[in-house]
């Protein structure tokens, strides 16, 4: 069965700080989040677009609606396309902003649809629809944190998503339940039922050190979990900052506070 989306050739480079190398045939296009491009060969035209890059079938109102939905996820209003305008093959490289693994997934292997964390999407073949997936339950809407609004990837093309730290995959059996930190959920297939559950208990709430809510995933379906959500990484960096009351530069230093004086922080 022929694809409607462009068919991309790729190679994932690196170990824990990965990038994806995408080789484009003449007139092939990859659609990417703003700020993910590392470098590209001469002959690739970069364009900023409304919508999700599905192509000419989108009217102006559809493009505005698609762009408006992206604003709700906290993403940029625009996306960027990279098109090979030469008669030979050209290559572009894309990477995430924090350590982790890049996964190349074919939507045809997942019945044409995946739901993913809004920070995990890197790029996709032109023709993939990149939208949002609202969770229907009130509890999810009010308390979901990172998991409240997920991105929806639909079509028959290839998509590239990034997971922070180490990636764990699970196949859930029918009615099997897994409870996950909301930020650790990277992606799931469309059959997985997703809700938010309150941790409960005053000691858990005040002293548990975790979030107040779990993502409760019910099978059947396949899920991808990350060990280092970007939000957790950012919180730890901020907490360690001297300006935030953390130990900062003197941690592990023989000079301690004197080192900060010499650095000009005091």
pLDDT digit string (tens) for 102-161?
999 999 999 999 999 878 999 999 999 888 876 555 444 444 444 457 889 999 999 999
The 10s digit of each residue's pLDDT in 84-98 is 999 999 999 999 888
Domain assignment of residue 265, yes or no? no
**How many residues make up the chain in this entry?**
266
Domain assignment of residue 262, yes or no? no
Of the chain, the percentage scoring pLDDT greater than 90 comes to 45
Contact 155, 52 (CB under 8 A): no
Domain assignment of residue 3, yes or no? no
> CB-side exposure of 43: number of CA atoms within 13 Å?
15
Of the chain, the percentage scoring pLDDT greater than 70 comes to 66
The reply to whether omega before 199 is within 30° of 0 (cis) is no
What is the number of domains present in the chain? 1
CA 210 from centre of chain: 22
Contact 8, 21 (CB under 8 A): no
Distances in whole angstroms, Cα of residue 66 to Cα of each of 40, 52, 60, 117, 188: 27, 7, 10, 17, 22
Range of the domain at 239: 9-245
The 10s digit of each residue's pLDDT in 162-202 is 999 899 999 999 999 999 988 899 999 999 998 877 666 55
pLDDT at position 262 over 50: no
Domain assignment of residue 160, yes or no? yes
Domain assignment of residue 141, yes or no? yes
Lookup: tokens for 36? 């993910």
**Per-residue pLDDT band at 17 (split at 50, 70, 90):** confident
Domain assignment of residue 156, yes or no? yes
DSSP 152: E
Q: What is the mean pLDDT of residues 211-240?
A: 81
Domain assignment of residue 261, yes or no? no
Contact 34, 67 (CB under 8 A): no
List the CATH number of the domain containing 102.
3.60.160.10
Domain assignment of residue 258, yes or no? no
Strands (E), the chain: 9-13, 19-24, 29-32, 37-40, 44-49, 79-84, 90-95, 100-106, 113-116, 121-125, 129-134, 149-154, 158-164, 167-172, 177-181, 185-189, 193-198, 213-218, 221-226
pLDDT score recorded for residue 77: 62
Q: How far apart (Å, rounded) are the C-alpha atoms in residues 50 and 79?
A: 6
What does the mean pLDDT of the chain come to?
Answer: 78
Q: How far apart (Å, rounded) are the C-alpha atoms in residues 104 and 118?
A: 16
Q: How far apart (Å, rounded) are the C-alpha atoms in residues 92 and 83?
A: 10
pLDDT at position 256 over 90: no
């Amino acid at each position: 069965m022929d694809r409607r989306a462009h068919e991309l050739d790729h190679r994932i480079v690196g170990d824990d700080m990965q990038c994806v190398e995408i080789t484009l045939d003449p007139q092939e296009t990859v659609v990417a989040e703003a700020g993910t491009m590392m470098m590209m060969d001469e002959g690739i035209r970069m364009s900023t677009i409304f919508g999700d890059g599905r192509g000419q079938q989108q009217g102006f109102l559809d493009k505005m609606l698609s762009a408006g939905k992206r604003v709700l996820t906290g993403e940029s209003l625009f996306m960027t396309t990279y098109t090979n305008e030469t008669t030979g093959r050209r290559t572009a490289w894309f990477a995430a902003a924090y350590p982790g693994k890049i996964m190349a997934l074919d939507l045809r292997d997942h019945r044409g649809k995946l739901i993913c964390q809004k920070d995990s999407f890197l790029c996709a073949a032109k023709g993939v629809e990149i939208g949002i997936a609202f969770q229907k339950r009130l509890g999810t809407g009010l308390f979901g944190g990172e998991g409240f609004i997920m991105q929806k990837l639909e079509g028959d093309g290839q998509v590239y998503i990034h997971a922070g730290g180490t990636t764990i995959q699970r196949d859930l059996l029918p009615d099997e339940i897994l409870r996950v930190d909301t930020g650790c959920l990277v992606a799931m297939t469309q059959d997985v039922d997703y809700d938010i559950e309150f941790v409960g208990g005053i000691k858990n709430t005040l002293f548990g050190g975790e979030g107040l809510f779990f993502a409760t995933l019910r099978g059947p379906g396949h899920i991808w979990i990350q060990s280092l959500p970007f939000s957790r990484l950012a919180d730890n960096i901020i907490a360690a900052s001297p300006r935030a009351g953390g130990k900062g530069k003197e941690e592990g230093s023989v000079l301690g506070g004197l080192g900060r004086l010499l650095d000009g922080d005091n």
